[in-house]
Amino acid sequence: MRTLLHKGSISLDYIDAQDPGELHQGIRDTILGIGQLVLAIGLALVRVKKEALFLEFNCRNLTAYIEELARETKHDRGTIFNWLKIGETWLKYREDLEKIGFSDRDGPTKLAFLERALAHKPKNEVFDNLLIMSHRDFKVYSRKIEDSAKKKVPYWEIRGNILYIEGKRAAIINRNLGERALDMLIRALEAACMALERDGYILAVHLNSHKEMMHFWAAAKRLKKRIQREK
């Protein structure tokens, strides 16, 4: 049975290695080690929460402690709360994780979606997929499959001056804005919604003229096709 948490340090000596193989191995080991660090942080945060250690740092509650930690480390507080969730999930399902041989090297960030998947999918299937799926695939897999009635609701739509995402009101658009500002705002909202629906990403680029935009758009489409072909 593999140990769930591999306690060890990550050496960065490989950065100056002359041997490409050693450099590659160093990169690989560091990437694998990121999961170990995330889990270690998560487990430490669980201790802070359970033992109310935040009081030692003049923080009235855990949220205040995490907000201060986010300020000091320049990390988003949501990310730190996510690490805490990973630590709590690890401890809660430790027995099941040990049974499947899951360790910190198998991508503990996937644990953030474990309970969501277990809420509506068979347990054995969920743990099998936790072990073999990538972070991205398990995140998508963990989402609930809506019934046929809910499937008829589009992921996003603009009705009148209101933007809805999965049937929930997400934004109200002021139609009294100037035509150019309104058009730009709606285009930005549509791009964001399409990216969310496809579990993708968007890149905002500021250009100084319509001519620049048309040139950039043509070049970007060619580059996007090339990048996607090379996957």
Please indicate, yes or no, whether residues 105 and 123 belong to a single structural domain of this protein. Answer: yes
Please indicate, yes or no, whether residues 95 and 172 belong to a single structural domain of this protein. Answer: no
Q: Which of 87, 112, 141 is the last residue of a domain?
A: 141
Query: pTM for the whole thing?
Result: 0.56
Q: What pLDDT, on the 0 to 100 scale, is given for residue 221?
A: 81
- Residue-range definition of the domain harbouring residue 196: 148-229
Q: Does a structural domain hold residue 6?
A: no
Q: Report whether pLDDT(219) > 90.
A: no
Q: What pLDDT, on the 0 to 100 scale, is given for residue 92?
A: 94
Which of 139, 38, 136, 53 has its CA nearest to residue 84? 38
Please indicate, yes or no, whether residues 128 and 34 belong to a single structural domain of this protein. Answer: yes
Least confident segment among 42-46, 55-59, 151-155: 151-155
Q: Report whether pLDDT(79) > 80.
A: yes
Please indicate, yes or no, whether residues 59 and 87 belong to a single structural domain of this protein. Answer: yes
* Mean of pLDDT values over 187-200: 87
Q: Total domain count for the chain?
A: 2
Share above pLDDT 90 across residues of the chain, in percent, rounded to a whole number:
27
* Whether the Cβ atoms of residue 220 and residue 212 lie closer than 8 Å to each other: no
